[in-house]
Structures are given as C-alpha cells and as structure tokens.
Structure 1
Amino acid sequence: MNTWKKIALSSVSLIALASLAACGNSKGSESTTSSSSDAKDHKGAVTLWVDPANVASYKDLIKNFNKEYPNIKVTVTQSPNGSANAKQDVSKDPGQAADVFKVPNDQLGAMAEAGYINPLSPSATDWVKSNDISIAVDAVSWKGKLYAYPQDEQSNIVYYNKAKFSEAPKDWADFTAETPIGTDFTNSYNWYPVFLANGTQLFGKDGETVDGTDANTKAGVQAMTWFAQQKANPGVKQLGTALLADLKSGKTQAILDGPWDGSTVKEILGDNFGATTLPTADFGSGSKQMQAFSGVGTLAVNSQSEDPVAASALAQYLSNTESQLALYKANNAIPVSKEAQKDSEVAKDPVALAVIKQVENDTLMPKMPQMATFWNLAAPLIENAYTGKTPATQYQAQLDNFVKSISSATE
C-alpha cells in the first residue's frame, strides 16, 4: 500500500508538532550540500529510515554509494511507523531520529515550520532543479525554498482487463456501463480530487493558502451529490481491501489504484493487463477530466543530524537518476528525474506512462501543516455522502464545517 493511501486511511490525528528543541538546527539553518568535492573524502556515520519493504533495495544502493563515499558509514533501518508517519516519528525525539528519512511531500510544510528540516543549500537547490521534473521541484518547495530531495511520484490510475475491452472507455459513465470498476470510497486520497476536478481549490491555487479552500460552493455540493449517485451505480463496486482479490476472481474487470500495486495487477491479468489515465466524468456541470492527488516521495535531512555533510551527500546520491532507476526496478517507484523518465524501460512501461501522463492532470498534494486535519475530516465527509449517511439537505452544512475546520486548524 502506498504512503498517501496509508495516511488517508488512518484518519488518526498525528501528535502535535511540539517545539522539542527542534526549532532550527544548531549546526546552521541551511543544509550542507553534498556536491562539493570535500564530501568525497568526508568521514562520518549516518542513519537512514525507509519503509520496511524497501530496506533491502536501499541496502543495495548503499553499496554503490560507498564506492563514491568510502568513508561514510550508513545504517539502513525501517521507519518506526513507515514513511507515512515520518512527521510523527521524527517529532517524538528529533535528536534520536534518523539523519535522513523518507517522507511524503505533504508533510514537508509542517516539518519545515517545526524546524525538523532545513532549507537545502543553494547548490543542492540548483541540483534538484536541474535533475528533476518541475512538479517534483514544486513538491519539495515551501515558502520559496526547497526542503527535501524528490525521488518518485504517485497518482491513481485505472487498471483494466484487456479481455473485456481492447481500449479503456474515455468517460466514467461509459466505463462503468461496460464493467464493474472496483474502488474504495472510504479513502479520501482516492476521491477528494473529485472536488478539485469540479473546480474547487484546496488551500488555494498554490496549495499554501490556509483560507484558500472553497469546497463549500455549488461545485462542492455537486461533488457530494455525485458520490451519492455512485452508491446506486451498478458499475461501481465498493471493495476496500478486496480490491485485488475481486479483480483476480473476475468479479471486477477494472480497478482504481496506483503504481504500488502495478506488479500484482500484472500478475493477475497477465497478457490482458491494461493501464490508463483516469477518464472524464460529469459531476453536474459538464464533462471534466478526473483528477488524482499527485504525491512525491522525498528524502529529507534531519536538522538535528550530527553530520549534515554526510547526510546531505547520502540524500542527494539516493535521489540521483541512477538511484531513482534502481528503485523503480526494485520497488515500482516511478522516477521524477528528467533523464530517468526517458529511460527505455520506463518509456515502455504502461504503468509508468499512465502515471506520468495522469500527473499532468492532477493536483499536487498540498504541504500545509493542516493536511493532518484534512485527512481526518475528508474521509468521513466523502464516505458519508457515498453511503447516504449524510442526506443531501446537509451537504452545504457539512462542507461549511469542513472548510472552517481545516482553515482554522493549526496542523
């Protein structure tokens, strides 16, 4: 399961970002770049937190890292509660957290505000801008500065059985008329983007405006109405954890999912495997291109690291083109490096191509500290509209309360 899916499904408030001695780095307020020649001869030791399933692939990369940085010892361990909870884990005791850790981009704003991470150095900033696609640069930017190294991108797409149709329908109504499509309306990562596709904004156009959410408009009410309509749509199956099982059994011929399940879906469908971008849909005011949340996986350097030179060298190395391609092959992590996206294997992979194309239509996950509150409140907002627990007469009131709550939250 991917990082943001875990966040959206948890619906549990993360612990407060207390000012635990993390309000700035005693070593300086700006990360040390790893691109200078002196880092090659630097002696040091750092720790790295990554998701449990990816520890082995990162250990392989460290072997290559040590060919260039032979005097930097790296200890790779799994994140205490997974990268989805990086902010929570680091905040418990920043001084004891890893020097470098995997973290989804939507947590960067809160971590920057709390002082758990520092802006990248000018040279590291230039390196990221040169190495990675623009959406990845935007993903790690907060208030005009970069705070982490981008590694991969994710977005929901549609997987489908080519035995059912050689080409996936282009519109949601046509798609669901042809075959049941499996999804999960309890997951706001999947379905909040309907509000965005229908013209509303989440924390403003820039994703950094605390009072910039306008879901409590006509467009938002239309989105809620559309959710309720899907409950009665025989071509939509609420599956939750049975998503892949029902595809395998043939109960569904298509699912809404992300690249994290790409290999499994390929095994299920075999030669009939198909992947495509999300279709268009009419939410009440004409056909609109469906959106997903695009998220970027990043590596951040702990502001309390005892060895920021070694930590920055490691984070940058693990984010370069070669490392991104290695992680793509090992973990299905869709690269964000400009050169990696041109790689021959990536260019012929239907999952990678669908994700890369879908991201062009998506809304980048905001990095506001209020995102923790957003995830907690968005899930029941959508699910209750879908199940009918919230009647249509209460849509406006529910949306008003939702917007007020996330706009006034401190995190």
Structure 2
Amino acid sequence: MASKAKKTTALLLASLMCAGAFAGCGGNGGTTTSTASGSSAGSTESTASTASTASSAGEASIPTVAEITERLKTEAKDGKISLKVWAPSNSKDFVKSMVEKFKTTYAVDGVTYEIKVVEKGEDKCINSLTEDSSKGADVFQFPTDQLLTGINAGVLAEVPTVFQGQISSENMEDAVKNCTYENKVYAYPMTSDNGYFLYYNSSKFTADDVKSFETLLDKAAKQKVQAFMTISDAWYTASFFYAAGCDIKLDTATQKMDLIDFDTDKGVAATKAMADLVNNNKDSFVSTGDNAAILTLLSSGKLQAVVTGTWNTPAIENAWGKENVAATKLPTVKMNGTDTQLHSFGGYKLIGVNSASKFPLASATLATYLTGPEVQQERYNQLKVIPTNNDILASDALKNDPIQKAIEAQRPYSHSQSVCTMKFWDPVASVGTDINNGNLKSSDEAGIKAALQKVVKSVEQG
C-alpha cells in the first residue's frame, strides 16, 4: 500500500508540474556520514542530512491557496477528504483548533473535510507506522532522530516539490537539513527546541547557584526543596558521557553505531559523576521518573529546579509563577575533581506524512499549514515552544525570551540525536537505572567498567 501511495503522489505532482502552476527545485551534494562531537560546539545537523536542500529552493514559487484547492478537488473521493492526525497529549487541543482553521483556509467547493485528531506520543508514531502504515495517521509529529528509520521503512512520504520552496525559504537552514536525506526532503520542520536545559525558580536560587549541580543541590537541601534530572533515560544519561569526552558515531549505510570511549576511563568518569550526584544528595536530588513525575513534583511544591524541555513550560509557570521562572544551560558537574559542563541532545520536532495516505496532496497541504508561519506563531504563543521560522525567531519576542536564551546557551554543548538508532536507548539507560537501584557505586570501578562493556557490546553488536 505504501508504494501505491507513493505512485499516487508522483502522479499528482506530475500533473501539477505539467500544468505549469508551480516551480520545482532540485538537489545538489552527496552522501556523507556525520557524527556528534563531544568536545566541540556540536551542530544539531541530522545524520540523515546528507545533503543540503536544493539551492534553487528559495527561488521556487510558493503555491497559492487557490492553486492548491483546485488540485484538492481532484483528490477528493465522493466529495470527501478524510484524514487522521496524530498529536501528543500536550498539544492535541491546539492541533484540533489549527485543523479547524485549516478547513476554513483551504475550503474546497463541493468537498467536505473529515479530519480526526487522535492522541499519540511523538516518539511512538514512526514505530507504529513501521508495524502497519495502512492503519496509521496521515499526518503526525516525530523527533529528528527517527527520520532515517522512517525513510528506511518506507513510511515517510517525500515532501511534494511544490511545497519545498516555502519550507526552505521560511525556516532555519539547519532545520531543513534535518528533514533532508540524499537530496530528498521527507519532513516539515515544526520546532527547534527538541532538547533540554535547566529551569529554576529564581525566588529560590540565584544565577550563580545554578552554575554547578553540586552547589544547586546543596542550596536545595538547605531549603528542603528538590531538583530533578532523570538519569534512567538515555536521552539525559548521554549528557554525562558527552561531557566526559565520549562520542557516538553512526554509519548510515549499515545503521551500525560506535560508542566511542564509553567503556574507557572517560565513561567511568561519567558514571562516577552520576553516582556521586545520586548518592550524595538523597534528599535534594530526584534522579528517576518520567514527565508525569515532573508534573506531580511540581504540583507538590517541592520541585524548584528541573532539567527538562519547553513542553513543560506551561506547567512550570503555573507552579512557580511566570515571574519566577528562569532558565539557563545545564550546570557543571564534578568529574575527576574538575567542574565539567554537561552536554545534551538537541534537535528538532518535525511533521511527517504517511506514504500510505489515500490523500497525499491533502496530507502534505495540512502538514505545510501546520508548520507554516501562522501556526508556528500560534504554537509559540500558546504552548511556549520555539519555532523554526526565521522571521519569528528574528522577532523581539523571541530574542528576549529567556527560554530561547537558555536553548542558545546550551546549543554549543548540544549534539544531534540522529546518530542514535533504537539499539542505543535501553542499554545506555540501564547505567542510570543501576545507579538509582544501588547496583553501581562510584567506589566500584570494576563493576562500572563491566557494566559499560556490556552496554557497548549491546549497542554495537546487539
């Protein structure tokens, strides 16, 4: 069914091009393998971004609503266009409201839209489609690290040529690269804040207090409050390994990962740093739990500093009061007696179109609309997430946004998570889980080395 949908898309695009209604764009460049760098200002460029977007993309004409709606008439079946959209719980209502605006903006004479918005986490969409794309949503959100998985599984439809000019001209160059693989664009950039940093209550801590994790936790203990950073989730556990000088490489052709120095003295230093934070700060440091745990701790009043991302901004503002919410890059931690800056994963959140969609042009049009300037602005206004649109990023509101400033402060220490396949997450998370369960202690160097060797073997050979 996926291949049939792709052929349908191709036929639609061919008719568009033959009609001369839209200008196209081509690609230039070759395939390379990119890796994260644990010792330099890591770019968030996706490993899947093996080629730049077409040089002519910025010159391509942007189709008008009238031109698109005229073509949508031919795609409707019995006067209907039926779509399903997956959206995460924290933005489901927002997506619903934007879908209603889409229906009005792209109203087609004689055609009724039936668009259902269904809750599904961004991290689960690609996996669900790989199981059975025919039952999946037409339009969905996903993080950059899953782009290559979606492409290899054949579940991501290419972005129609007619929309590529708009995507390339309106959004951050790096965001567009993260939607691109081997000269083909497979996704629509939505947000530029798929990473994490430190939020803190400025009525409890000063800017100097939060520069060091050790100082932050000491101040928290004295006030009988808590700080949170899970180390049982590899997305966060990696912070310590990158900070220690470890690295991750991915061969995109074979999908083989290499964990560089994870099982050497550098990896041991990272593990010891995590263990010391946990074991030396039992009352003030919460080191395990998911997003629901963060929300529970916020509502209890005990949590006054948290490593998380923009998806929790509304909840944090509600708990502390907007005037007390401050944010900054991640703090330092002691590694081998030296204050060492924590690193992070960073990237983008994208919108994709199911290659098995029975309405490929309508799906692509909706995806373009949901990532267009109007919706990106509304998404920022309502959900406080950071856009990829160049004009919005250049506005005074974004330039003065403390969250955006924190993201930019963390960016030099941020790495693309696109170097990680699904084999990475569980084995690396097990290191933090073993620390939290008391199975790994900083004094047990032999045990740490054995655990790290097991992790490397599982990721590289599993």
Query: Could you state the TM-score of these two structures normalised by the residue count of structure 1?
Result: 0.82
Query: Residue 341 of structure 2: which of 289, 294, 305 is its match?
Result: 289
Q: Give yes or no for the alignment of 1:199 onto 2:245.
A: yes
Q: Please state how far the C-alpha of 1:31 moved relative to its aligned partner.
A: 9.5
Cα drift, residue 183 of structure 1: 2.5
Q: How far 1:267 sits from its partner (Å)? A: 1.8
Asked if structure 2 preserves the Cα contact closer than 8 Å seen for 1:159 and 1:275, the reply is yes
Determine helix, strand or coil for the equivalent of 2:413: coil
Q: 1:266 to 1:39 in 2, by over 3 A?
A: same
What is the CA deviation profile of residues 1-39 of structure 1, one whole-angstrom value per residue up to 9, with x for unaligned ones? xxxxxxxxxxxxxxxxxxx86698333579959943532
Whether 1:221 and 2:202 are equivalent positions in the alignment is no
Q: 1:135 to 1:405 in 2, by over 3 A?
A: farther
Task: Find out whether 1:374 has 2:398 as its counterpart.
Answer: no
Residue 325 (structure 2) pairs with residue 276 (structure 1): no
Alignment match of 2:214 (pick from 163, 173, 176) = 173
Amino acid at match of 2:230: D
Picking from 137, 140, 159, the partner of 2:199 is 159
- 2:189 maps to which residue? 150
Alignment identity in percent?
A: 23
| TM-superposed deviation, 1:62 | 2.7
Offset at 1:40? 3.5
With 100-109 and 383-392 compared, the bigger mean Cα shift is at 383-392
Q: Is the 8 A contact 1:161 1:274 kept in 2?
A: yes
Q: 1:73 to 1:314 in 2, by over 3 A?
A: farther
Q: Does 1:90 align with 2:119?
A: no
Any idea what the Cα deviations from partners look like across 1:306-348, whole Å, max 9, x if unmatched?
2322221211111112211111222232212222223343334
Answer yes or no: is the 8 Å Cα contact 1:22–1:303 preserved in 2. yes
Select the structure of larger CA radius of gyration. Answer: 2
Of the structure 1 ranges 349-358 and 218-227, higher mean CA displacement relative to structure 2 is found in 349-358
Identify if the C-alpha distance between structure 1 residues 212 and 373 changes in structure 2 by more than 3 Å, giving closer, same or farther. Answer: closer
Matched, 1:141 2:203: no
Q: Over residues 124-147 of structure 1, what are the superposed CA-to-partner deviations in whole Å (9 max), with x where a residue is unaligned? A: 444333222244234323455432
Structure 1, residues 141-167: CA drift from partner, whole Å, max 9, x if none? Answer: 345543211101222221212222342
Q: 2-side partners of 1:232 and 1:252: how far apart?
A: 19
After TM superposition, the structure 1 stretch with the greater mean CA deviation from structure 2, 292-301 or 119-128, is 119-128
What is the Cα deviation at residue 300 of structure 1?
A: 0.6
Q: Does 1:70 align with 2:107?
A: yes
Residues in 1 aligned to 2:254 and 2:128: alpha-carbon distance in whole angstroms: 24
Distance 1:123 1:93, change over 3 A: same
Amino acid at match of 1:220: G
SS of the equivalent of 2:8 reads coil
- Contact preservation (8 Å) 1:22, 1:114: no
Q: Distance in 1 between the 2:273 and 2:69 partners?
A: 56
How many aligned positions are there?
388
Using the TM superposition, name which of 80-89 and 291-300 deviates more.
80-89
Q: Pairwise mapping of residues 226-245 of structure 1 onto structure 2 (< 5 A)? A: 226-234=273-281, 235-238=284-287, 240=289, 241-245=292-296
- After superposition, residues 123-134 of structure 1 pair within 5 angstroms as 124-134=163-173
**Structure 1 unaligned regions, length at least 5:** 1-19
Deviation of the 1:114 alpha carbon? 0.8
Q: CA deviation at 1:110?
A: 0.9
Is 1:186 aligned to 2:232, yes or no? yes
In structure 2, the residue matched to 1:338 is: 390
Residue equivalent to 1:5: none
CA-atom RMSD in angstroms:
3.1
